[in-house]
Amino acid sequence: MALRERYTTVTIFVLSLLLAAVVLFQLSLAAGSEDTQTGGAEAEAEASASESPFEEGDPEAIEAGQALYVGELGCAGCHGQDGGGGIGPALNDDQWVYGGEAADIHETLVNGRPNGMPAFADAADDEQLWQVVAFVQSLSASE
């Protein structure tokens, strides 16, 4: 191959790489702008999701949470009717694998945890999940 042909081949290769890099960069900018368009709403939702809408010890929230825990969500199947544990860990003591604060429990309910704890974000709305949080916290408060 002549020197000129090699130069042309290398130039085409380098220009192709450069073009690919520019295209990837443009795609990443477009994806970033979509994130910033919805970022405010997502951040607001995330902030509100980390704080319970109920006062600690709210009897109505605890009662509603207990109904969900025992019934619709089936938490009692793994954690026991009284939160004493079974397949899943006990919820009526002060030993928490992922944290026992309301926001920690809510995070667990929303996203699940490895090794068996399912996510409930699609099974109940956020208010219902906070009601379950209120009930679960009442279990450890009563011990």
Burial class from Cβ neighbours inside 10 Å (0-12, 13-18, 19+) for residue 36 reads: exposed
Q: Express each pLDDT in 35-77 by its tens digit.
A: 444 444 443 345 446 789 999 999 999 999 999 999 999 999 9
Q: Express each pLDDT in 68-113 by its tens digit.
A: 999 999 999 999 999 999 999 999 999 999 999 999 999 999 999 9
Domain assignments of the chain as residue spans, ordered by start? 1-49, 59-141
What's the pLDDT at 114?
Answer: 93
pTM of the complete model beyond 0.85: no
* Cα(117)–Cα(122) distance, integer angstroms: 14
* Cα(46)–Cα(49) distance, integer angstroms: 5
Q: Express each pLDDT in 113-126 by its tens digit.
A: 998 999 999 999 99
Q: What is the CATH number of domain 59-141?
A: 1.10.760.10
